[in-house]
Amino acid sequence: MLGDLIKASAKSFGSSFSLLNVLPGVLVVTVIAVLWRAHLYDVQAPPDFGAVLPGKDDAAAAVLFAFGAFLGGVLLRPFEVGLVQVLEGYWTAAAPVGGLRALAAERHRRRRDNASLERSAQAHQGTTSPADRTTLRELAIRQRAKARAGRIREQATLAFQDYPERDVDIMPTLLGNILRDAEYVAGHRYGLDVRFAYPRMFPTVSAPMQLAIKRQLDLITVSASLTVCFGLITLASLPLTLRLDVWSLTAPLAAALATVAYRGAASASREHKLILMAAFDLHRFDLAAAFHYKLPANAAEELALNKQLNSFLLDPKLEPDTRGTKALGDASSGLAERQFEHPEPCRCCSTGRESQGGPH
- Domain ranges in the chain? 2-87, 91-125+138-283, 291-360
User: What is the per-residue pLDDT for 2?
Assistant: 34
pLDDT of residue 196: 86
Determine the Cα–Cα distance for residues 47 and 161; give it in Å rounded to an integer.
48
Q: Let me know: does 162 contact 178? Beta carbons within 8 Å.
A: yes
**C-alpha R_g of the chain:** 28
Nearest to 240 by CA among 48, 42, 45: 42
The 3-class secondary structure across 110-129, one letter per residue, is: HHHHHHHHHHHHHHCCCCCC
The whole-number pLDDT of residue 18 equals: 58
What are 293's strand-pairing partners?
340
- Provide the CB-side half-sphere exposure for 42 (13 A, CA): 10
Please give the DSSP secondary-structure letter assigned to residue 293: B
Residue 239: how many other CB atoms lie within 10 Å:
16
pLDDT score of 266:
93
The predicted model scores a pTM of 0.74
Peptide bond just before 96 cis, omega within 30 deg: yes
3-state secondary structure of 340: strand
Could you tell me if 194 and 186 are in contact, meaning their C-beta atoms sit under 8 angstroms apart? yes
Strand partners, 325: none
Residue-wise pLDDT tens for the chain (360 aa)?
A: 334 434 444 444 444 455 666 777 778 888 888 888 788 888 888 887 776 666 666 667 667 767 776 776 666 666 777 778 888 888 876 657 777 888 888 888 888 888 877 777 766 665 444 444 567 777 777 777 766 766 666 666 667 778 888 887 888 999 999 999 988 888 888 888 888 888 888 888 889 999 999 999 888 988 998 998 899 999 999 999 888 888 889 999 999 999 999 999 999 999 999 999 999 999 989 888 888 888 888 889 888 888 888 888 877 665 554 444 445 444 445 677 777 888 776 555 555 444 444 444
pLDDT at position 154 is 64
Give the pLDDT confidence score for residue 23 in this predicted structure. Answer: 75
